[in-house]
Amino acid sequence: MIDRQINRELSRQANRQSNASGEDTLIARYFRPLATDPGAFNLDDDAAALKPSGDDIVVTTDAIVEGVHFLPDDPPDTLARKALRVNLSDLAAKGATPAGFVLTLALRGAEEAWLKPFARALGEDAAQFGCPLLGGDTVSTPGPLMISITAFGRAPQGRMVHRSGAKPGDRVIVTGTIGDAVLGLDVLKRGPLAAALGADVAASEMLIGRYRVPQPKNALAKAVRDHASAALDVSDGLAGDLAKLCAASAVSAVIDVQSIPLSPAASALVARKAVGIETLISGGDDYEILCAIPGDRMEAFAREARQAGVAVTAIGGLIAGTAPPSFLDAQGRELALKRLSYSHF
């Protein structure tokens, strides 16, 4: 009797597998191994569950689209990392700890040569940043490839850091270096900067890497939460994102352009006049944290940033008023920016 029941169950499972849709097979093969959180229910349900912990749930979403955020021949592993990391960067700027994410993937075809490295890199980043896959959707499309991720984070109640909240007298701080990604995109497109870099392969590869694979500053999230009066990540360009922070906080800013941190490769190109600083501060895809820190919090913030291994630089200060931020050169002259940031529309 028991043997017959076992045989019936095995037969039922085999039939279910043979009747599985192509989408079910794709999910089971490439993405189910990434769903390590119990609340993902092994991707067998229509929804996931995040267990309550007393924290606020912080939610952010970003999509990357072929031809807009990445080039058609960008490697699939870099696309996986970029898609997740741009969302992790938002969580970091809000002072939130990653809790999980859902994925929407619009594909022209289900090709193993693309899906296998994509899923492997996505799983590696999910493990590295403690942000497991909870669920999502896969669809076919005749149009450009699109990867959309919604990420969830946790922050103590009422402690999420907003764009608003900055005050006159706060210092303007930015992490990392600015402008590398826009330079990397030009190199990938074989633009004038590719020629300017010439045989400097290391510099070219570094810039391309900065464009393809962001480095979100999640290690700084707690320091941002504890010390920043306002923050956001630099995704559309330093100048434009600073303008957003100032508008939300009803303040203005004065920025010392000479203080804006540049990589050695970017500094060399600016010194040779191969590119202007205006391009670097209005280009997108930096994924650094831009925040306002009160003066009496600066020492503690800088100390915690060093402990986290994240470089931070003071580039100016906030002032009263609602005028757009001013960017002053070494002679105190204001730069006339033709555009503040990248805009989709």
Mean pLDDT of 196-204: 93
Provide the residue type at 304 as one letter: E
| pLDDT of res. 1 | 43
d(CA 294, CA 312) in angstroms, rounded, equals 15
Q: Work out the pLDDT band at 19, boundaries 50, 70, 90.
A: low
Reply yes or no on whether the pLDDT at 139 is more than 70: yes
Evaluate whether 173 touches 293 at the Cβ level (below 8 Å). yes
Query: How many CA atoms within 13 Å lie on the side-chain side of 211?
Result: 24
Reply yes or no on whether the pLDDT at 231 is more than 70: yes
| pLDDT of res. 39 | 96
Count CB neighbours of 119 within 10 A: 23
Reply yes or no on whether the pLDDT at 340 is more than 80: no
Evaluate whether 255 touches 316 at the Cβ level (below 8 Å). yes
Reply yes or no on whether the pLDDT at 11 is more than 60: no
Count CB neighbours of 254 within 10 A: 16
Q: If you write DSSP's letter for every residue of 210-234 in order, what string do you get?
A: HHHS----GGGHHHHHHH-SEEEEE
| pLDDT of res. 198 | 87
- Looking at residue 340, the DSSP 8-state letter turns out to be S
Instruction: Give me the chain's average pLDDT, please.
Output: 92
Question: Which is more confidently placed, 14 or 199?
Answer: 199
Taking only Cα atoms into account, the Rg of the chain, rounded to an integer number of angstroms, comes to 23
d(CA 297, CA 170) in angstroms, rounded, equals 9
Evaluate whether 328 touches 257 at the Cβ level (below 8 Å). yes
| pLDDT of res. 342 | 60
Per-residue CA distances from 287 to 3, 11, 30, 79, 249 (Å): 59, 51, 28, 15, 21
Each residue's pLDDT tens digit, 92-131: 999 999 999 999 999 998 899 999 999 999 999 999 999 9
d(CA 211, CA 183) in angstroms, rounded, equals 8
Each residue's pLDDT tens digit, 202-217: 999 999 999 999 999 9
Mean pLDDT of 50-75: 94
Reply yes or no on whether the pLDDT at 219 is more than 70: yes
| pLDDT of res. 14 | 44
Close Cβ partners of 85 (under 8 Å, ≥ 6 residues apart): 125, 129, 213, 214, 215, 216, 287
d(CA 331, CA 324) in angstroms, rounded, equals 20
Residue 161's nearest CA partner among 344, 324, 301, 13 is 301
Count CB neighbours of 320 within 10 A: 11
Per-residue CA distances from 163 to 26, 242, 244, 345 (Å): 39, 10, 8, 22
Evaluate whether 215 touches 149 at the Cβ level (below 8 Å). no
Diameter over CA atoms, the chain: 91
Extract the tokens encoding 177. Answer: 């270096």
Each residue's pLDDT tens digit, 301-317: 999 999 999 999 999 99
Each residue's pLDDT tens digit, 242-280: 999 999 999 999 999 999 999 999 999 999 999 999 999
Helices (H) and strands (E) in the chain, counts: 12, 10
Sheet with 171-175, strands from edge to edge, namely 230-234, 288-293, 171-175, 312-319, 252-256, 326-328
Q: If you write DSSP's letter for every residue of 298-326 in order, what string do you get?
A: HHHHHHHHHHHT--EEEEEEEESS-SPPE
Burial of 4 (0-12, 13-18, 19+ CB in 10 A): exposed
